[in-house]
A and B are shown apart, each in its own frame.
Chain A
């Protein structure tokens, strides 16, 4: 068993692009669900709106990257308004139904052959964000970093480091915005809406407006996640925007602790580290011949890791239902209500 590989792969997946993307998406979901009580099951729709908004602006309209990112963000805002306007006056479940549908609607629309001139159909749009790497102060092909304890590989290419740097800056920015807002009177109103809309209304709060603002801002964070995903991959693929992405992000938010500013970030890091650890341990067990052939083959690792991670998360939430950062007293109140 090569423990050093397991450890280094696990550490790497906690800090690389994937963890960043899902941290960003989960920050938005945390604002929606954790603070405002909005059930958004279509965060991936916001990611896709941001990614395609940016990709199409560059590829079709020849925009430079920065304004194209602006278009991607605007696409997220527009999507939030379209989703929120008819549903936010109704009970919470209506938003859930509409959002879960919209994610799939967007995915099927952008991968439709009829639109392939614009969206690239099932091939997506590729090679549109070279501009991003041209701003990289490091040399993209060169490797930087070090081996921890001589064996744990923490070396990254300049391109990766640049992406990780920008990504984590975005995470900090989004966390800062959420932190400021939830500790302001705005945040107090939003939390009161989560607890009881009628009470907030009876105290003179325009519940619809606050819910709309929260939906827009959280959706924008989702769009940021999608844009970062697309720009960093230099590609948008429709099948990267499947429903499961929303639930990975939601898992990260719950794992970290809902309604905690750092919850979604830590949740995302732990989620991807856990997934990577399980995968690498399984591979090492098989390669070392410890895992018998009849029980599991290498091709099954991809599926089995999700089963084991799911089991782990279940156990974690049984013993710590409030997540990593949550307050157990809040869960107790939920049980009483």
Chain B
């Protein structure tokens, strides 16, 4: 099973990685100059733009996943498939249940109903650390760097199947060779992320954006097949955002599937191959990024029901100021609930 992690990167992928590491220099503006090949290109050509649609090669399938908090149905996803090798964005207004759904997919929370299948094998009820071992690695909305450990230790921790993690082996030894390999791999990935110079610093001393970078780099150490990023760009300055976007594209070019939650529509439009929109716990739309803005259901979710009508009303207000009072009192009042 693990062998399938090491899919050969498409064309000159490896060279590109090294080149990236060298040229991007601290800023990150350089990252956009590199165009990463997109292996997912074309895989959505025959997929209909509708919620719950089947994908040609799904790596993750959720079926009837429901999570109830008291009377609130926080998540109620009938069917969702995530295409292998693509970047899928999960968007939706605040409180749509995106993070809760994320927690359910990664088994950090248990659904009241429903099943999840990861790479052909059932994931429901599997311990979350075992899912991570199987190649589903997630990050968190509030970054979880290990503050009082060095950046390098943060990275090395994430390597899988370390012999020295057995208490007995840790004590008697026999893990030094593997440790050397793990360190080399960690340094290589740090180099790709332009963080080599920070390797000995405490992770807690990094800035918010650097922490996001570290978390993403750390996920790479775990040989993931599917990376789930919960708001990877939140609180990151624009220059670093560009660099992070480059890294996400690079993950895809290496054959890793990416699912991410995001609010910034420019980011979503820039990197995602497919967008899934959630509102009030349900998936209300799916489609390529360009299709989402025009989707009436999405507009209503973001702007409230009757949004189209409201925008007409507002238009009228501009032309007939006399009606202003009536129009706003009813419609806007309704929106603030």
A binds B: yes
Whether A201 contacts B128 in the complex (CB less than 8 A), given A188-B156, A195-B148, A337-B147, comes out as yes
Tell whether, in the assembled complex, residue B144 and residue A196 are in contact, meaning their CB atoms are under 8 Å apart: yes
Interface 0/1 of A293-310, CB less than 8 Å to B = 000000000000000000
User: Restricting to B148-180, which residues have a CB under 8 Å from any CB of A?
Assistant: 148-149, 153, 156-158, 160, 162-167, 169-171, 175, 179
Whether A213 contacts B108 in the complex (CB less than 8 A), given A188-B157, A202-B139, comes out as no
Tell whether, in the assembled complex, residue B132 and residue A204 are in contact, meaning their CB atoms are under 8 Å apart: yes
Tell whether, in the assembled complex, residue B132 and residue A202 are in contact, meaning their CB atoms are under 8 Å apart: yes
Interface: B222 (CB within 8 A): yes
Interface: A131 (CB within 8 A): no
Bound state CA distance, A206 and B149, in angstroms?
Answer: 19
| Contact count A vs B, C-beta below 8 Å | 112
Whether A198 contacts B166 in the complex (CB less than 8 A), given A203-B222, A333-B147, comes out as no
Whether A203 contacts B148 in the complex (CB less than 8 A), given A185-B175, A186-B167, comes out as no
Within 8 Å CB of B106, what residues of A?
202
Interface: B133 (CB within 8 A): yes
Tell whether, in the assembled complex, residue A199 and residue B132 are in contact, meaning their CB atoms are under 8 Å apart: no
Bound state CA distance, A194 and B157, in angstroms?
Answer: 13
Interface: A189 (CB within 8 A): yes
Whether A177 contacts B205 in the complex (CB less than 8 A), given A186-B165, A189-B165, A202-B106, comes out as no
User: Restricting to B108-154, which residues have a CB under 8 Å from any CB of A?
Assistant: 108, 127-130, 132-133, 137-140, 144-149, 153
Tell whether, in the assembled complex, residue B140 and residue A202 are in contact, meaning their CB atoms are under 8 Å apart: yes
> Residue A206 contacts which of B127, B137, B218 (CB distance < 8 angstroms)?
B127
Whether A336 contacts B129 in the complex (CB less than 8 A), given A184-B175, A188-B153, comes out as no
Within 8 Å CB of A184, what residues of B?
164, 169-171, 175
Cβ-closest chain B residue relative to A182: B170
Interface 0/1 of B197-235, CB less than 8 Å to A = 000001011000000000000110110000000000000
Tell whether, in the assembled complex, residue B204 and residue A336 are in contact, meaning their CB atoms are under 8 Å apart: yes
> Residue B165 contacts which of A177, A185, A330, A334 (CB distance < 8 angstroms)?
A185
Cβ-closest chain A residue relative to B146: A195
Bound state CA distance, A202 and B219, in angstroms?
Answer: 9
User: Restricting to A165-194, which residues have a CB under 8 Å from any CB of B?
Assistant: 177, 180-181, 184-189, 191-192, 194
> Residue B171 contacts which of A180, A200, A337 (CB distance < 8 angstroms)?
A180
Q: How far is the CB of B134 from chain A (nearest CB, A)?
A: 8
Interface: A205 (CB within 8 A): yes
> Residue B170 contacts which of A181, A202, A203, A333 (CB distance < 8 angstroms)?
A181
Bound state CA distance, A146 and B74, in angstroms?
Answer: 76
Within 8 Å CB of A191, what residues of B?
146, 148-149, 153
Whether A337 contacts B175 in the complex (CB less than 8 A), given A195-B146, A206-B129, comes out as no
> Residue B218 contacts which of A187, A194, A203 (CB distance < 8 angstroms)?
A203
Bound state CA distance, A69 and B138, in angstroms?
Answer: 46
Tell whether, in the assembled complex, residue B170 and residue A200 are in contact, meaning their CB atoms are under 8 Å apart: no
> Residue A333 contacts which of B148, B158, B162 (CB distance < 8 angstroms)?
B148
7 further A-B contacts with Cβ under 8 Å, apart from A185-B165, A186-B165, A205-B165, are: A181-B171, A199-B140, A199-B146, A202-B128, A202-B140, A203-B157, A334-B147
6 A-B contact pairs sorted by A residue (CB < 8 Å): A181-B171, A185-B179, A200-B129, A202-B108, A204-B132, A204-B160
The 3 closest A-B pairs by CB, nearest first: A186-B170, A184-B170, A185-B164
